[in-house]
A and B are shown apart, each in its own frame.
Chain A
Amino acid sequence: METILFLTHTEADGTLCKASLEALGAAVELTIDSASSLAVGIFGADVQKAANSIANCGATRIFGVEGPDFAQPRYATDACAAEILCRSSQATIIVTPGTSRMSRIMAGVAHRLAGRVDTHVNSIRYESTRPVITRWFYRQRMVADVNRAQRPWVLVVDPGTHPVYPAEASSAKVEMLAAVLGADRVRTSVKGVEAPKTDQQTIRPDAELLFVAGAGWTKKQKDGQPHVKEAEALILGFLSETKASLGSSKSLVDISGEGGEVLKFMSHMNQVGQTGATPRHPKGLSTCCHGEEPHVVGWRFINERRAINLDPNCGWARGKADVVYVADAFEVIAKVNALLAEKKTATVG
């Protein structure tokens, strides 16, 4: 039997984010399967609202650390709050969401607790009297089942791997813990968030579709000339019509560093694959990409995959995509955009 702690932070508005509710679902499931007890730990500027929102989760105790110092996502203060919550709960297993805020601190917190950490956890199951997790290695090239003897064992759950816990709001009793911070804990201050302008916001983690653009968009076309401006308009038009998230191959984002003509809205943040993201979306459409292993790595968690490619024998295409359209992406995307716009007009009308 374990003592399981679901540990999370609040959002700026005092709520819990989707990834938190997914991790809570994983923690509740593990608690039931292992006949263990569940505690909840929350930190942030004000935790009562968040605690109330998950009051029905079956936790025997709910701990909180709150105050203005814990409003900012900052390693020193967040790790301090998390450490106090973990120690007070005497947890043997700590389940947290893989948000940027929790991912920044949990390995350090596990070290302070003399425990161990596993991040990017995809699944947790209870098997033959022990918890077993699944996570990927070598950038999503191989998958492993892992167990650890050490406690506490910190599990940072990847967003998108578990269903959202069906939380019901009620009144929760929160045991507030005091965290005393020295001046050395507030040497860093968060100044804000830099986001692309709304019309240039191309990364949408919750989108149904991932649209991946490859370097082919900037290469010479049938007439012997590159058409980068046209490519920009087509891709932005597609994103506008579909609300898809935009991914890129490494070769495309690297073109900017090599002085080539580039798609202005594309950055390393869009990159998927070996040194990029491995996003999770129900559908993916790749265009002008070629058959490199990093593309496959970047597409590991895309369920339905289609590609538009001029090369029918492309290694990426065969065996990796469900459908490959051997066609010119410029022509096809222009027509897709027109069809989607037409459909939208018809719906509005």
Chain B
Amino acid sequence: MNSFQIVVCGSIVPDPLQTLEPVAGPTGPALKNEMMLPAVLDPWAAHSLYEAANLAKQFPGSKVYLVSLGPKAKLQQVMMTVGQKVPFELVAIDGPASGFTDSEEVAGALAAAIEALPGIDKTKLLLFGGWESASRGAGSTMQIVGELLGITDQFQGVDRITVRPDGSFEVLERIEGGKHQVSECKSAPAVLGWATGYLGEPRNDPQVGMMNMRGIMPSLQKAKPAQIANDGLSFLKVELPKQQRTTRIVKDASADEIAQEIAEWIAKD
């Protein structure tokens, strides 16, 4: 029976419902009141964590690690919730979770933490993460972590992995036009940058939470600091889009009149 070491890379981002505003910080752009904003696990990374747990459940002996780079205090807050979802071992790295950091340097910190995992076996390694973050949104970090770890079977925009008895697996990746590319990989190691997949968000399970917490707090306490210097990267301007539009509210028109107007609008070049 196959077993895997599934390492999920995922950081934290401001809750999607928060209003964000850029400000100039001492080392570059930042978010206004960044440390005060409620945070969540990066949504696509969260999907990858749920997929990892689901896969680990199917293959006894498998283990899920969550490697997360972020400010320790914020990581602790987010882990209180995430820790109740699925079983994992946290590897915390104390550093910025900002979208304005350079993915090459972030990837370096993540790869170093993965290399340092006791007993890591690359022949069993599946490296999971979101295909893009909700902060930088570049889709670059996972590729670079893969390169740093010497993994050249990489998939992005993954919605499904199906592992076969011989250890090979089929992957569905999103491509243009709402289609999926179907690929087959002989075995681990591989990098999978996940899109949403097909699993729902697991319900909170207090027992899972208790079990995870035994590892989460020590991991946070011994989190190594990561220096992200953003060498050579300059932000000349960061601003909110001018999105306010003058909205015409059509209140008292009949369905016929509205339909006519919409049909004409659609037909207009």
Contact = CB atoms under 8 A, between A and B. Distances in A.
A293 interface: yes
Contacts of A204: 177
Given A104-B156, A146-B235, A191 B104 contact: no
B33 interface: no
A196 B234 CA distance: 43
Given A144-B238, A274-B16, A187 B144 contact: no
Interface string B185-224: 1110000000111111100000000000000000000000
Contacts of B198: 268
B89 interface: no
Contacts of A56: none
B166 interface: no
A145 B237 contact: yes
Given A79-B152, A144-B238, A191 B196 contact: no
B140 A322 contact: no
Given A138-B137, A146-B234, A325 B250 contact: yes
A191 B182 contact: yes
A188 interface: yes
Given A75-B153, A144-B238, A205-B177, A324 B250 contact: yes
A261 B179 CA distance: 24
A59 B155 CA distance: 32
Interface residues of B, number: 94
B234 A320 contact: no
Interface stretch (A115-123, A167-175, A223-231): A115-123
Interface of B: 13-14, 16-17, 19-20, 22, 29, 31, 43-44, 47, 99-100, 102-104, 107, 134-141, 143-144, 146-148, 152-157, 159, 170, 172-187, 195-201, 231-241, 243-251, 253, 255-256, 258-263, 265-267
Interface of A: 73-76, 79, 99-101, 103-108, 110-112, 116-120, 132, 136-150, 184-185, 187-196, 201-205, 209, 242, 254, 257-258, 268-271, 274-275, 283, 285, 292-294, 296, 300, 304-306, 308, 312, 317-328, 331-332, 335-336, 338-340, 343
Report the 7 A-B pairs with minimum CB-CB distance, sorted nearest first.
A203-B178, A107-B140, A335-B259, A257-B200, A149-B232, A107-B143, A75-B154
